[in-house]
Amino acid sequence: MELEVTKADRLLALLEDKTARVGVVGLGYVGLPLAATAALQGFNVTGFDIDADKIRQLDQGESYIAAVSDDMLAEAGQVGSLSWTADFSKLADCDVVVICVPTPLTRHRDPDLSYVEKTARAIAAHMRSGTLVALESTTFPGTTEEILTPILASSGLLPDKDFWVAFSPEREDPGNKSFRTHSIPKIVGADTETARRLAVAFYEKVVDKVVPVSTAKTAEAVKITENIFRAVNIALVNEMKVIYDAMGIDVWEVIEGAATKPFGFMPFYPGPGLGGHCIPIDPFYLTWKAREYGHATRFIELAGEINVNMPHYVIAKLREVLDRQCGKGLSKSRILLVGISYKKNVPDMRESPSVVLLDMMLQAGAEVDFLDPHIETIPKMREFPHLLDRKATRFEDVTAEDYDAVLISTDHDVIDYEGLIRLGLPVVDTRNAIASRGLPIDLVTKA
């Protein structure tokens, strides 16, 4: 017991005076902002990633994520210490290691924890006694206890004696200018009092507010619940959109009216499907884990089914418009797809329904160009390798003669919507982008 107190107290002291050395594994949309934020608070931070191109770019002081500017990287390096490496042996120098790696789904929609497991094995190979390891990657309840801790223990070090483990889910929201990493309340859970105390001590030095919960499993459930809440409610309004459209009712006007109620209603908005790394994926982590306990997640699975089917509804609407207004089928048409990223004003294409729409139109035989000021070319995507390096068209190159219709899938603010209307082409608008800006909707069909 004396050994545990000594090591824990040593680490706590390092955290209190910010002399603890912090390693952040995975320098994507979660890890890079966290690394920069921790350095801005005065910590010595090393970022780890297997992507050598990312390391080279960061070594040159260049960020590839909008939430972290080049100036922020420079300032972080001046306030604290910030370095980058693909050499995981340097984990041995870290007092705190934070895991921020992807947790996708397999092709069969089962959890893919391979990135977490590989990272855990790398940490176990180099971790020294007296280290705090925090997992931020979204996953099913029980991952920290059942998978991460045993792999770390394979190092020969003893949990809660030689090292401590916690879970603190990321809450990044790409494109949200109202909240940054430091200003988003941080959930922190651990299975022992010592681990929880150390994790709280670390995060309290990095972010404005820490919210401790009793266990890592509880913290994991908090994150899953947040994303299921959004997925289910988006599915609800997507289903209502289809029903109200059949009734000749504008769902956007309905939501705008309902949102005036000062209590008991929270507005969610329909779209062409779900995008981003979290909401389309995370609910299925709970679905998978629930089977272990003999429970079905019918509500969650139904929401997933509705959201996954939305691109088919949009394409059906597009076919109707082409048939009615152009007198031709989709296979004979030329379409301008507006917005390829999953969310407005961000260059993030993870799980983007716009890519699904693009692929569906191409598979149907249509000619399709996409317009997106935030995306120059389509990157490598596991399910759409054939779209690799497809280039965006420029608005100044768009003419009415080149297309039969416009499909708005992502409503970036920098798009010239007035210019789109002036083309005089039929517009299928999945985001209410035209009407919400007070522009003429004579040629617009909402989908």
Which residues are catalytically annotated?
A: 278
What is the phi/psi pair of residue 389, to 5°? 70, 10
- C-beta atoms surrounding 108 within 10 Å: 7
Helix (H, G, I), strand (E, B) or coil at 21: strand
- C-beta atoms surrounding 331 within 10 Å: 13
Sheet holding 367-371, edge to edge: 367-371, 334-338, 405-408, 427-429, 444-446
Q: Tell me 262's DSSP state.
A: S
Alpha-carbon distance 94 to 126, whole Å?
Answer: 10
CA dihedral 386, 387, 390, 396 (to 10 degrees): 140
Sheet holding 21-25, edge to edge: 81-85, 44-48, 21-25, 96-99, 131-135, 163-167, 186-189, 210-213
Alpha-carbon distance 229 to 233, whole Å?
Answer: 6
**Burial track 153-167 (b if 16+ CB lie within 10 A, e otherwise):** eebebebbebbbbbb
What is the phi/psi pair of residue 344, to 5°? -65, 140
Helix (H, G, I), strand (E, B) or coil at 87: coil
